[in-house]
Amino acid sequence: MATKAARILAWTALDASVASRAARSTVAAASRAERMVPGSRAKLSAAVVSRRPELRLSSNGRLETP
């Protein structure tokens, strides 16, 4: 039983790690878009937040991970 619990905890940690990595990747993509087209960050950020609820917009329009 303890082995099963340990396995479940390991998978949960892995899921959180993958989600965190994906969120950081999304934030990096928004930063690259802003450098290419000024003003595009707010549009991209709003679109990303609507699809990825684990991200949020800061007061200055930047994407943040929790």
pLDDT one-digit tens code per residue, 45-60: 666 666 766 766 676 6
Rounded to two decimals, what is the model's pTM?
0.31
Which candidate, 28, 37, 39, places its Cα nearest to that of 48? 28
pLDDT for residue 1 is more than 60: no
pLDDT for residue 26 is more than 70: yes
Question: What element of type H or E holds 48?
Answer: helix 40-51
